[in-house]
Amino acid sequence: MSETTTTADAPALIERRGHVMLITLNRPQARNAVNAEMCIRVGDALEEAENEADVRVVVLTGAGDKAFCAGADLKALARGESVIPEGREKWGLAGYVSHAISKPTIAAVNGPALGGGTELVLASDLAVAADSAVFGLPEVTRGLIAGAGGAFRLAHALPPTVAMELLLTGDPITAQQALEFHLINRVVPADRVLDTALGLAERIAANAPLAVQAHKRIALQQNADGTRPGEAAGWAMTSDALPAIAHSQDAKEGPRAFAEKRAPVWQGK
């Protein structure tokens, strides 16, 4: 059974498909970039999934064929708007990256997933990607840092030398490379991404839900309240580094140079 609980023009669509909750980031005109309303809708949906026994797996995907998610909405940030509403800070980007729940989560990556898009994938338990998808954290090329968990999660997910190269160069990798590095679980043609992810979700949902949830908690060393002590140091170091980087001259120069289509001139301050 499929049930839609949000209107078609909402920034995130929430559907029930049997025991699976499907969350679709729904701003295709902005490459599914995250704004405040999306953060609220996704965060609330995860709370619903956590608290309803009938939901056993969550699948996250993006609308359209241009991108899975382009990260934070830079236009909203340029207007002085926050993409994470007040009071929702603990759930992080899109209400998702630091919003750990007991139910398994699967990213159905329908297109490019750079920056915050890769951080959403890293926050998911499993990932299925289109063969056209690309992954990476290009923040250093803009004078920024990967502040939604990417810096430490990528280092944990990949071999150290691979992770360091991607973090320090900002270079992307293809879906096939991501599969070879075990960053994702499947690579399929773009038109099969969602069906493949939903099929995987249904296989998981067919199992005993309490046992599945226990395996997730044990494997990720996740407490019943969703906290992950193993990630505490990474989040603390990210929070410490963000203010100085965000207010640096380089952080202003990077986006400005990108908008002006020129090479940035770094000052190291």
Active site residues: 119, 139
For residues 94 and 82, the answer to whether their CB atoms sit within 8 Å is: no
- Ramachandran sector of residue 154 (left: φ over 0; alpha: ψ -120 to 50; beta: rest): alpha
Alpha helix locations (H) across the chain?
36-51, 74-78, 116-123, 150-157, 160-169, 175-180, 193-205, 209-220, 232-246, 249-259
Q: Are strands 20-25 and 12-17 parallel, antiparallel or unpaired?
A: antiparallel
DSSP for 94-158, written as a single string: GGTTT---SS-EEEEE-S-EETHHHHHHHHSSEEEEETT-EEE-GGGGGT---TTTHHHHHHHHS
Task: State how beta strands 173-174 and 134-136 pair.
Answer: antiparallel
Structure tokens given for 213: 């949830």
Q: Which residues contact 177 (CB under 8 A, 6 or more apart)?
A: none
